[in-house]
């Protein structure tokens, strides 16, 4: 009798385990569902920029509510083509891991996006392990670029010929010496920061203060020095504005 009860108990346990496994399989959410639900379960995004030499910058996590809400609004604007694989002529500009919380009792679901920002302003997106190819219009691509840039310039458009305070563009060399700031310039050339490892700079601000040094690629807080010896700190910009003499 005891043996029968024991066997019966094991049978119940086995059935329960099988049912649980079956339910868990049903709860695995596919890529299609993330689109159909307007990405409401998106919890955070990890982004990495890819350098011109193929190396990766450090991972930056976007998890604050306002930024995640904006990312949701952008991602649902992607026009997807399913069951389509594409081959791009160059490496992606950014890899982004999107984390979804479908069930607090289940691990997060992760989709890896590869993102290319194009010269015309649009963006192309593919999803790892999915036959999905997407396009994003210029306005949303620009917003996405500004939002996920690891070292963003606080300016969304190329400056005009009119005097304009850009803010700061700084870097620090190995000796922790000089560095540069640009203010109120009129003549300019915009250079994509990620395409240049280093750049010699000789800049003059509108108040006559001279700066010169070497801008070396990095992603850090840096120090620049004025001629009078005073110092300030700031963040590296994604794009640099070169003053032509």
Same domain flag for 140 and 80? yes
Residue 36 forms part of a structural domain? yes
pLDDT of residue 95: 92
Cα–Cα nearest to 192, from 141, 144, 158: 158
Q: Which of 203, 117, 214 shows the shortest CA–CA distance to 168? A: 203
Enumerate residues 6+ apart whose C-beta is below 8 A from 164: 184, 185
Tell me which of 33 and 104 has the higher pLDDT.
Answer: 104
Q: Cβ(205)–Cβ(169) under 8 Å?
A: no
pLDDT band for 56, please (50, 70, 90 cuts). Answer: confident
Query: Quick one: 201 and 96 in the same domain?
Result: no
* Cα–Cα distance list, 202 to 108, 161, 181, 239, 245 (Å): 49, 19, 10, 16, 9
Residue 208 lies in a domain: yes
Both 50 and 62 in a single domain? yes
Asked if residue 71 is part of any domain, the answer here is yes
Closest by CA position to 71, among listed 108, 96, 107: 96
Q: Considering its fold, how many domains does the chain have in total?
A: 2
Confidence of residue 228 (pLDDT cuts 50, 70, 90): low
How many angstroms separate the CA atoms of 60 and 197, rounded? Answer: 20
Residue 92: pLDDT over 70: yes
Residue 185 resides in a domain: yes
Give the CATH number for residue 101: 2.60.40.4400
Q: Which domain holds residue 125?
A: 29-148
Q: How far apart are CA 167 and CA 154, in angstroms?
A: 8
Strand partners, 177: none
173 shares its domain with 65: no
Q: Is residue 235 part of a domain?
A: yes
- pLDDT the model gives residue 107: 80
**Do 244 and 231 share a structural domain?**
yes
d(CA 96, CA 113): 5
Last residue of a domain, one of 148, 164, 194: 148
User: pLDDT band at residue 185, thresholds of 50, 70 and 90?
Assistant: very low
Most confident of 9-23, 67-81, 172-186: 67-81
Please check whether residue 39 lies inside any domain of the structure: yes
**Start-end of H helices in 107-185:** 138-148
Q: Which of 89, 116, 148 is the last residue in one of the domains?
A: 148
Q: How far apart are CA 158 and CA 143, in angstroms?
A: 14
End of a domain among 148, 164, 196? 148
14 inside domain: no
Check pLDDT > 80 for residue 75.
yes
Domain check: are 134 and 164 in the same one?
no
Does residue 15 lie in a domain region? no
Q: Based on the domain organization, do 128 and 222 belong to the same domain?
A: no
pLDDT of residue 47: 92
Same domain, 124 and 217: no
Residues 245 and 164 in one domain: yes
Confidence of residue 112 (pLDDT cuts 50, 70, 90): very high
Nearest to 227 by CA among 245, 205, 244, 243: 205
pLDDT at 49: 86
The answer to whether residues 132 and 191 belong to one domain is no
Residue 8: predicted pLDDT: 53
C-alpha 208/C-alpha 81 separation (Å) is 54
């Amino acid at each position: 009798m005891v043996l029968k009860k024991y066997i019966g108990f094991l049978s119940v346990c086995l059935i329960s385990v099988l049912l649980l496994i079956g339910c868990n399989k049903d709860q695995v959410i596919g890529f299609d569902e993330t689109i159909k639900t307007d990405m409401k379960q998106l919890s955070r995004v990890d982004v990495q920029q890819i350098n011109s030499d193929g190396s990766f910058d450090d991972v930056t996590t976007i998890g604050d509510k306002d930024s995640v809400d904006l990312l949701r609004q952008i991602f649902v604007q992607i026009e997807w083509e399913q069951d389509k694989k594409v081959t791009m002529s160059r490496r992606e500009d950014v890899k982004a891991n999107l984390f979804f919380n479908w069930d607090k009792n289940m691990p997060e679901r992760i989709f890896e996006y590869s993102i290319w920002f194009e010269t015309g302003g649009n963006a192309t997106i593919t999803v790892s392990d999915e036959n999905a190819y997407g396009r994003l219009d210029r306005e949303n691509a620009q917003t996405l670029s500004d939002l996920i840039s690891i070292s963003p310039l606080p300016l969304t458009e190329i400056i005009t010929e009119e005097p304009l305070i850009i803010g700061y563009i700084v870097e620090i060399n190995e000796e922790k010496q000089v560095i540069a700031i640009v203010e109120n310039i009129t003549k300019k050339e915009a250079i994509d920061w990620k395409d240049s490892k280093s750049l010699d700079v000789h800049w003059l601000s509108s108040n006559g203060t001279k700066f010169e040094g070497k801008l070396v690629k990095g992603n850090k807080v840096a120090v620049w020095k004025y001629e009078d010896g005073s110092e300030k700190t700031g963040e590296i910009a994604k794009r640099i504005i070169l003053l032509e003499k």
